[in-house]
Amino acid sequence: MTWIQRFKFRNFIRASSWIVPAGWAVLAIVLHKLVWKFDLWARWELLGHTQEGARALVGSISSAMLTFIVFLLTMIFIAIQISVAQLTPRIIIYVFRERVVKMSLGFFIFTYLFSVSVQGKIGDPMPQLGVMLTVVFSLVSIGIFVYLVGYIGKALRPLSIFANAAVQGIHAIESIYPVQLTKSGDTVPAENLSAEGKQSTTIRYKGKSGHFMAFDVKGLVELASRMDGTIRIIPQVGDFMATGDPLFQVNQGSGTVDERELRQSVAVGPERTIEQDPAFAFRIIVDIAIKALSPAINDPTTAVRGIDQIHRLLRVLAARDLGDGRVRDRAGRLCVVFPTSDWEDFVRLGMTEIRQYGAGSIQVLRRLRAMLEDLIDTVPPDRNPVLREQLNLLDRTVENQFPEPDEQALGKTADYQGIGGSPLSHVSLSKD
């Protein structure tokens, strides 16, 4: 199986909401056959149901479970619609990836199919064990439903979305930037990619338009090594690509390039994912935060909670060597070059729009200042300039928005809670 096939299969499994319920449906059929054979062998009386009573009981349960499934799907879609309107459309795919939702829906379908199967076997002999299990499964389904209502309510809160995006972003950061940063920083001398003495070929994208989701680093290094050349990826992960856009620039050596293999080493899909794009985690958090700061919603506390997670992500990034977008083989020869975000890009992505949309909120400005001052104290010196640049912009924003000296002084005070917190105790704890 090639890299692109594995990537597509993995994302198909994650995004598909029907695979787990389909597995539960198969399990219901198999389990019913086993239970029926056991009933024939054991001849248990158990609850002592008559045929009429068992048929009425199981029939009512199967009808109720079908209504239950329809009601559950309706509830999920309504909750998603409300959350999308208040948060961001980019959370839809992550709701359907939730294992709890998939497993709950699967168990409801399992109970429905099992009850229908039992109902069809009611006669002489009576499937006493099947009837009893139908009752048990229906009671378990009620418990799962009650739990699921609370779970969905919590999972679609802004705080949960922020935390989920941050966790996925941290996993992506640790995967893409595995090297810990040294005390001296991660500045790497720039290396020019020269095509002198080599034939340069531009390869264009030929698939359906979409977002550049990921690429196979190891596979591209092997291709570049085989042809003794260098492969430059032109778009950055997260960029939108239309058919015919330039995809690769190949500086060939002694070998030849296989265009089909090159195109099989990149994945393009309908929307961005966080897997190789940690900036998308910032994007989700920032989008929700600035929507909370819109005049229609006016919820600065939600924006502050988003800044908490941006602060968390920037702290993780600050401890990592962000590389230079160049990959070499074991012999040290440059093989692959690709555009990548640097520290300044991540800081501006996490700061700029929230500062602009939250300019009138002292709570937001104080929390942004607390984040910047903390990062200035903790990151390597060569990463401080962009933080001080943002701090100066924050100062000018406060001065422009609040003409009164007292309000300016309040706006220029760092506070991890926005308003009401004690920044001194937080800083002392973070440094211990």
Give a yes or no: residue 248 inside a domain. Answer: no
What does pTM read for this prediction?
A: 0.85
Give a yes or no: residue 56 inside a domain. Answer: yes
Number of domains forming the structure of the chain: 2
The residues near 58 (Cβ < 8 Å, ≥ 6 apart) are 115, 118, 119, 122, 131, 134
Of 386, 351, 343, nearest to 185 by C-alpha is 343
Give the angle subtended at the CA of 205 by the CAs of 201 and 208, to the nearest 5°.
175
94 has a pLDDT exceeding 90:
no
145 has a pLDDT exceeding 60:
yes
pLDDT in tens, 269-282: 988 889 899 999 99
Last residue of a domain, one of 156, 180, 196: 156
pLDDT in tens, 353-387: 999 999 999 999 999 999 999 999 999 999 999 99
Is residue 334 within 8 Å of 328, Cβ to Cβ? yes
Give a yes or no: residue 213 inside a domain. Answer: no
Give a yes or no: residue 111 inside a domain. Answer: yes
| More reliable by pLDDT, 88 or 347 | 347
**What is the sign, positive or negative, of the torsion defined by CA atoms of 358, 363, 369, 370?**
negative
124 has a pLDDT exceeding 90:
no
Is residue 267 within 8 Å of 215, Cβ to Cβ? yes
190 has a pLDDT exceeding 50:
no
In this prediction, residue 332 has a pLDDT band, given cuts at 50, 70 and 90, of: confident
Residue 326's pLDDT is 92
Residue 425's pLDDT is 47
Q: For residue 152, how many other CB atoms are within 10 A of its CB? A: 21
In this prediction, residue 115 has a pLDDT band, given cuts at 50, 70 and 90, of: very high
Is residue 166 within 8 Å of 309, Cβ to Cβ? yes
85 has a pLDDT exceeding 80:
no
- What would the mean pLDDT of 26-44 be, rounded to a whole number? 88
pLDDT in tens, 292-306: 999 888 899 999 999
Residue 255's pLDDT is 66
The boundaries of the domain holding residue 427 are: 279-314+341-431
Last residue of a domain, one of 105, 128, 156: 156
Residue 422's pLDDT is 66
389 has a pLDDT exceeding 80:
yes
Q: What percent of the chain is predicted at pLDDT more than 70? A: 92
Q: Label residues 76-96 b or e (16+ Cβ within 10 Å = b).
A: beebbeebeebbbebbeebbe
Question: Beta strands 210-215 and 266-269: pairing type?
Answer: antiparallel
- What would the mean pLDDT of 190-210 be, rounded to a whole number? 70
| 285 in the same domain as 149 | no
Give a yes or no: residue 414 inside a domain. Answer: yes
Alpha-carbon distance values, 374 to 215, 349, 427 (Å): 35, 18, 7
Query: In whole angstroms, what is the distance from residue 424 CA to residue 158 CA?
Result: 27
Residue 67's pLDDT is 87
- What would the mean pLDDT of 106-134 be, rounded to a whole number? 88
Last residue of a domain, one of 106, 138, 156: 156
Residue 88's pLDDT is 79
One-letter identity of residue 35: V
In this prediction, residue 183 has a pLDDT band, given cuts at 50, 70 and 90, of: low
For all residues of the chain together, what is the average pLDDT? Answer: 86
Residue 195's pLDDT is 41
One-letter identity of residue 360: G
Give a yes or no: residue 125 inside a domain. Answer: yes
Is residue 304 within 8 Å of 355, Cβ to Cβ? no
DSSP conformational letter for 214: E
Give a yes or no: residue 186 inside a domain. Answer: no
| 284 in the same domain as 139 | no
83 has a pLDDT exceeding 90:
no
Give a yes or no: residue 11 inside a domain. Answer: yes
Phi and psi at 254, nearest 5°, equal: -80, -20
In this prediction, residue 210 has a pLDDT band, given cuts at 50, 70 and 90, of: very high
